[in-house]
A and B are shown apart, each in its own frame.
Chain A
Amino acid sequence: MHTFRMVSRSALVLGSLVGIVIFAGGAKPVANLQPKLTTLRNVAAEGQGHRAATQAWSDLTVEARADQLPEILAALDGAGPLAANWIRAAVDAVAEREVEQGGTLPLGELEKFLAQKDHDQRARRLAYEWIARGDSTAPDRLIPEMLDDPSLEMRREAVARVLLSAEKAAADKKTEAALAAYQQALVAARDVDQVLATAEALKKLEHPVDLARYFGFLMDWKLVGPFDNRGGKGFAVSYPPEENLDLTTKYRGADGEVGWVTHHTDNEFGFVDVNQALGKHKGAASYAVAEFLSDRAGPVEIRLGTENANKIWLNDKLLASTDVYHNNIAMDQYVGRGELRSGRNVILLKICQNEQTEDWAQDWKFQCRVCDTSGKAILSTDRPVTGTAERATADASQPAAKTTQE
């Protein structure tokens, strides 16, 4: 009897606790979201898993409580790009419903989520945006500390604030303060528009930035060509430089024997004009080689901008291949992700020109840089230090301790 009473009391207490847990924060019980989140994470290409995901999304957004937003956000960690969109839409739907119904978002828990930098960076940013909607003090409290944040979106806002302070200091004729702020922004910035704006301001303060070095553009190349690319067929042909790279060899090219040509560019954006280096050719393939010395092994991105069909190799491994001509050009247009070796590395590019005759289709050029996943330059260890604003740019060019691509 006594035992029964004890058990009954314990059951009552346990039941009450469960009830408190279940009904805490409102009438809605705490739903087990994991099966539904797993269903969302399992969506795959070509509509696979979408039928189940549609139902799971609908159920999840109805059942989830606002205080489960961090759990939903956490499901973005490691999610594929399709699944990430299903999950993000669920986050927004749950948060939006809570706000519309006059409820409160779990701002404290969301802030804890934001502070955990190993979460998916877009999830952290999403958490921040809902925090900022619920707490108008959040931007001023949180953003200034994010100059080195792995989320490039958070970092961008922090840099923007520093730039504003630099502009104000410059306007107030506080040159030293302005200079310091601009250099701080330059170290932190990853977006090209912010870097260029900062460099322009530093130039006015007589501290020009060596942009080629800052971005990590490769300036010294060996080029060879032309090889036959009439009809675009040479793109798929493995000419000898792809098979056995030997910078002392001559090859049979499209118009006769061709050998490696040394080419240095002084362009501040690292552009190499193949028309200039090898002569103007149409329906032609060329190769460009750069050596890169690294004091450590690790992940790296070889980023290419070109209007021409291209391939990127690092140490004989093909990283990227794009058979497209004259469809715009931009910095970091194509990205090859690979691994640097400690010591000597070889970057090989194939840059192909087609036979279009329009004026706008005559460019045969490229720019190439080496950087980490955040876009911070990684410099070859034998790259000479040049220009002014050296400290800022040199700092910026050191490998990041930890960066994450968004």
Chain B
Amino acid sequence: MSRIVNFSLTFVILAAAMLRLAPAIGAADWPQFRGSNSNSVTTDPQPPATWSETENVAWKADLPGRGPSSPIVVGDRVIVTCSSGVKQDRLHVLCFAAATGKRLWERQFWATGRTLTHASSANAAPTPASDGKLLFAFYSSNDLICLDLDGNLKWLRGLAYDFPRTGNDVGMSSSPVVLGDVAIAQVESQGNAFAVGVDKLTGETRWQIPRPRVPGWSSPIIMHTDNPPRDVVLLQSPSQLTAHDPATGKELWAYQVACDAICSAVSEGGVVYVPSKGMTALRPNSTDKPDVVWNAAGVQPGAASVVCDKGRLFLINRTGVLTCASATDGQVLSRVRLQGEFWGTPALVGDRLYCMAQDGACQVVEVSSDGRKADVIGKSQLDSPLQSSPAVSSGALYVRSDHRLWKIAAP
């Protein structure tokens, strides 16, 4: 009897432990800006290389507002934000069925912070994030809204309401991340600048740290380190890159050098690749300053963030040239000129890089495993302006232009 009790107890404990350890995010999910690992890479099946109005478009949906924000995919749902109104002060969160494109629900809110942006941007510039159960929608007006996957409101914070003088009339675009129990938002403007870790269940502030009072548009990224094994959040500003404990906000190390204000860093294998003086590779150590592994001044990304996979870095510069550089030393491995100007970060699926230009020109580049060969294998056209980054899930590409959301997938 006691054996049975012990076995049952062990089973329960093991099951509970497995449940605790099991991530709410599925393997096929694309739960935040640049995907699960903030690197725009997935091992999912490849979407088609070309599409048209009559081919490989599974569905498309009109959106009630504008936005450079990117779609995310959580389970069988696609979530996208947009903003509307003469003053861009209406905030929308929309949820679509990934299979059919049916709009499952929509929630609207009113901005509580500044809504003015450059004409090319919109209030819905940051990409939402999810932990698999909750959604965290963020806007240029610094409104942070938490909903469940059925659209039920859990909490909302007006970070500009809470902390006056926060805002940038050019527009803000930093996308939040969720790590552990905390949703993290990076808010950097001339009037006020801080990063905040908000309890994802209650909306209460777990921590808040000051940041440089200069405009910044880059997004926090999650970095996994092996020694010690843990996830840290990296915050990039025009004057520094810092690593923080996501639970407390405590600064773990800092790299005090000019960094790009828009293009965000990427990490792989314990190394951070920062758009700084071209590109710079940093390896954290046991001190409060990381080691500089290499610097490549000739490798200069534009607004699109950096993609990294298996020792290859992919960057698109301001003139539309895609560079593949070695993550080992920053040496250029190959270059290919693409059509258009790029704001969205490309997505790497297997050996295909899906690049979406602002004018709607979508180009698929096939890259060799050593990075020395890169060829455009597909060109397709979508609406413009298209400033978002594609999301990939289960062989489908989800792309959002200013007013429309597409699912690109083979039938």
A-side residues, CB < 8 A to B, are: 45-47, 50-51, 53-54, 57-58, 61, 81-82, 84-86, 88-90, 92-93, 96, 122, 152-153, 156, 191, 193, 322-325, 327-330, 333
A86-B190 contact, Cβ under 8 Å, with A327-B215, A328-B170: no
A333 with B116: CB separation less than 8 A: yes
* A58-B169 Cα distance, complex, nearest whole Å: 35
Residue of B nearest to A329 (CB): B169
21 A-B pairs whose Cβ atoms sit less than 8 Å apart in the complex: A45-B161, A46-B157, A50-B155, A54-B153, A54-B202, A81-B158, A84-B110, A85-B109, A86-B156, A88-B108, A89-B107, A89-B153, A92-B106, A92-B107, A92-B108, A191-B86, A323-B190, A323-B191, A328-B117, A329-B169, A333-B169
Q: How far is the CB of A228 from chain B (nearest CB, A)?
A: 20
* A58-B165 Cα distance, complex, nearest whole Å: 32
* A333-B153 Cα distance, complex, nearest whole Å: 31
Interface size class on chain B is 35 or more
* A86-B154 Cα distance, complex, nearest whole Å: 9
B86 with A47: CB separation less than 8 A: no
B-side residues, CB < 8 A to A, are: 85-86, 105-110, 112, 116-118, 143, 145, 151-158, 161-162, 165, 168-170, 189-191, 198-199, 202-205, 215
B191 with A82: CB separation less than 8 A: no
* A173-B204 Cα distance, complex, nearest whole Å: 62
B112 with A47: CB separation less than 8 A: no
Q: Which of chain A's residues have a CB closer than 8 A to the CB of B205?
A: 46-47
A58 with B112: CB separation less than 8 A: no
Q: Which of chain A's residues have a CB closer than 8 A to the CB of B168?
A: 327
A330 with B169: CB separation less than 8 A: yes
Q: How far is the CB of B105 from chain A (nearest CB, A)?
A: 7
From the candidates B161, B189, B204, name the one contacting A82 in the complex (CB within 8 A).
B161
Q: Which 4 A/B pairs are nearest by Cβ-Cβ distance?
A: A328-B169, A47-B204, A81-B112, A50-B203
Interchain Cβ contacts within 8 Å, total number: 96
A46-B204, A47-B204 known; 16 new pairs, CB 8 Å cut-off, are A47-B155, A50-B155, A50-B203, A58-B152, A81-B112, A82-B158, A82-B161, A85-B145, A89-B107, A89-B108, A96-B105, A322-B191, A323-B190, A324-B189, A327-B190, A330-B169
Q: Which of chain B's residues have a CB closer than 8 A to the CB of A153?
A: 85
Q: Which of chain A's residues have a CB closer than 8 A to the CB of B109?
A: 85, 88-89
From the candidates A45, A90, A324, name the one contacting B162 in the complex (CB within 8 A).
A45
Q: Which of chain B's residues have a CB closer than 8 A to the CB of A96?
A: 105
Residue of B nearest to A85 (CB): B109
* A156-B84 Cα distance, complex, nearest whole Å: 14
Q: How far is the CB of A152 from chain B (nearest CB, A)?
A: 8
A57-B153 contact, Cβ under 8 Å, with A92-B108, A193-B86: yes
A328-B110 contact, Cβ under 8 Å, with A82-B156, A93-B152: no
A46 with B152: CB separation less than 8 A: no
A122 with B110: CB separation less than 8 A: yes
* A211-B190 Cα distance, complex, nearest whole Å: 32
Residue of B nearest to A327 (CB): B169
Q: Which of chain A's residues have a CB closer than 8 A to the CB of B165?
A: 322-323
B107 with A330: CB separation less than 8 A: no
Q: Which of chain A's residues have a CB closer than 8 A to the CB of B112?
A: 81-82, 85
Q: How far is the CB of B30 from chain A (nearest CB, A)?
A: 26
Q: Which of chain A's residues have a CB closer than 8 A to the CB of B156?
A: 82, 85-86
* A46-B207 Cα distance, complex, nearest whole Å: 11
Q: How far is the CB of B32 from chain A (nearest CB, A)?
A: 22
Q: Which of chain A's residues have a CB closer than 8 A to the CB of B203?
A: 47, 50, 54
Q: How far is the CB of A250 from chain B (nearest CB, A)?
A: 33
A54 with B116: CB separation less than 8 A: no
Q: How far is the CB of A175 from chain B (nearest CB, A)?
A: 30
* A58-B198 Cα distance, complex, nearest whole Å: 21
Q: How far is the CB of B207 from chain A (nearest CB, A)?
A: 12
Pick the most buried of A81, A88, A122, A329: most chain B CB atoms within 10 A of its CB.
A81
Q: How far is the CB of B231 from chain A (nearest CB, A)?
A: 24
Q: Which of chain A's residues have a CB closer than 8 A to the CB of B117?
A: 328
* A322-B170 Cα distance, complex, nearest whole Å: 15
Q: How far is the CB of B222 from chain A (nearest CB, A)?
A: 23
* A87-B116 Cα distance, complex, nearest whole Å: 25
A81-B110 contact, Cβ under 8 Å, with A191-B86, A327-B190: yes
* A156-B320 Cα distance, complex, nearest whole Å: 41
Residue of A nearest to B109 (CB): A85
Q: Which of chain A's residues have a CB closer than 8 A to the CB of B169?
A: 324, 327-330, 333
* A53-B152 Cα distance, complex, nearest whole Å: 12
Q: Which of chain A's residues have a CB closer than 8 A to the CB of B85?
A: 153
Q: How far is the CB of B156 from chain A (nearest CB, A)?
A: 6
B170 with A327: CB separation less than 8 A: yes
Q: How far is the CB of A56 from chain B (nearest CB, A)?
A: 11
Q: Which of chain A's residues have a CB closer than 8 A to the CB of B105?
A: 96
* A96-B157 Cα distance, complex, nearest whole Å: 24
Q: Which of chain A's residues have a CB closer than 8 A to the CB of B189?
A: 324, 327
